[in-house]
């Protein structure tokens, strides 16, 4: 599964912060999933958001960036 590639020390990471409705209890549910499966909180969010965006027709651009010549 592709999500295993994000579960590693050497994975470059960026921060995203969004306010979400408390009624969804996302933080509590993420903590429970982490406790049951050992998947890190950021990875859970990344996997879920990636699946949503892919399903809506927004896959990642997986072409490697071109290095600038000096």
Which among 36, 51, 35, 47 is positioned nearest to 11, based on CA atoms? Answer: 47
Residue 63: what pLDDT?
82
Q: Is the pTM here over 0.85, yes or no?
A: no
Of residues 44 and 67, the one with the higher pLDDT is: 44
Mean pLDDT of 46-62: 95
What are the two backbone dihedrals, phi and then psi, of residue 22, each rounded to the nearest 5 degrees? -60, -30
């Amino acid at each position: 599964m592709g999500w295993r590639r994000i579960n590693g020390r050497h994975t470059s990471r960026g921060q995203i912060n969004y306010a979400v409705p408390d009624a969804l209890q996302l933080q509590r549910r993420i903590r429970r999933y982490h406790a049951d499966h050992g998947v890190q909180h950021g990875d859970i969010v990344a996997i879920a958001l990636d699946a949503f965006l892919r399903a809506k027709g927004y896959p990642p651009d997986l072409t490697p960036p071109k290095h600038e010549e000096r």
